[in-house]
Amino acid sequence: MDRMDMDKRRGEPEGCLVAAIRLPVRIVALVVVVPVRLVWDALVVSGRFLYEKALVPLGRGLGLLLGAVLVWPFVMLGRALAWLCRVLIAIPARWLYAHVLTPLGHGLVWLTRTLIVVPAVWMYSQVLVPLGRAVLTGLRWLGLALFVWPWVALWRYVLTPLGHGLAWLGRVLVVIPLAWLGRVLVVIPLTWLWTYVLAPVGRALALAAAGLGRGLATLLRWVFVVPLVALWRYVLAPLGRALRIAGRETWDALVIAWRIAGRISRAVGRFLGRLLRWTFVEPARWTYRTVLTPLGHAVRDHVWRPAARIGREVRASVRQARAEVRRALFGARKRPAHATEPLVGDRREPHSAQARTLGSSTTPLTKTDIH
């Protein structure tokens, strides 16, 4: 979005003010932004390293620790409580509901239906409904005869003719004379007053108000509107346009300086990386490959392997001499027929001694069979 706006602004015509502001503002922005961008990139790299190498493992460890300390005991407790509730409450309640409460409820429902509902329904449909209908019909006819029909006859044959006669007398004796008097005494004078007095006076007042309004409008226009328009057109609008150009150029300069600072920071980071690589990593790698590895191979081939071979030969010679001394002092040890004599040059240790019996001893100096 910023690049599109900058491309559109580049296509617009530029004046001397824009050209005079742009270069100093970009130089100052570049000088100010480059250190900030370097510090920002260093903080980002440090924070990412700290987050990936320290905070994430620490968070995982704390999560596992909190889970082991706080979550799993409650989980196991909840499972134990659930098992106890199931064994002590749910299974007995289910058995009680299925084998006791359900048959008892079915029996109560059957008894209630047989003893109460069926007789009540028969009583309602066969006795109470016909009786209620007969009572309501009698009450309806009685109410009509006592309250409705007399009042209807009175209204139709007495009050209606009397009201018509009184209305005719009132119209002839009262309404027509009052209408003639109102027209002669009120309507005709008011019409003359409006036509020959109020209407001319209203027109004169309207003309006077219109002239006064035009004068006040002209006065207000020259006192307030014209100075304000001139202030806006010749002072505020150019000042706002200059401030807008300065702000736009400052923002563009900051954006460009931020991008340039990013490239400078990337180049500095690559330079430092290569410097560390050629200063420490490559010499260490070369030392390991060309010095330490051949030296280790030489030590392994010419020192450790001959030393190990000599040690094995010495150990075999010692074993053989010890065996010969034992045979010379105590005689050859008897072995079962199926047992085999270990080789002198065998690398393995001699077999472990047999378990103690009544006719033998486990002491090396007295290990002889007792006959």
Q: What is the pLDDT of residue 19?
A: 64
> Using the 8-state DSSP alphabet, how is residue 283 labeled?
H
Hey, what are 25's tokens?
A: 């503002």
8 A C-beta contact, residue 368 and residue 361: yes
pLDDT at 359: 46
Cβ atoms of residues 360 and 354 within 8 Å: yes
* Separation of alpha carbons 248 and 6, rounded Å: 10
Indicate the pTM of the whole model: 0.35
Residues 29 and 258 sit within 8 Å (Cβ to Cβ): no
148-156 CB contacts, 8 Å cutoff, 24+ apart:
none
Record the tokens describing residue 98, joined without a space: 């299925």
Structure tokens at 28: 């100052």
pLDDT value of residue 123? 87
In this prediction, residue 290 carries a pLDDT of 92
Concatenating the DSSP letter of every residue in 238-253 gives HHHHHHHHHHHHHHHH
Residues of the chain with confidence (pLDDT) below 50: 1-2, 6, 8-11, 13, 339-371
Amino acid at 263: R
Provide the 8-state DSSP code for 338: T
Return the biggest CA–CA distance within the chain.
Answer: 173
CA separation for the pair 64, 78 (Å, rounded): 19
Q: Length of the chain, please?
A: 371
* Cβ-proximal residues to 345 (8 Å cutoff; 6+ apart), any chain: 316
How far, in Å, CA of 19 to CA of 13, rounded?
A: 11
- Mean pLDDT score of the chain: 80
Q: What is the pLDDT of residue 242?
A: 82
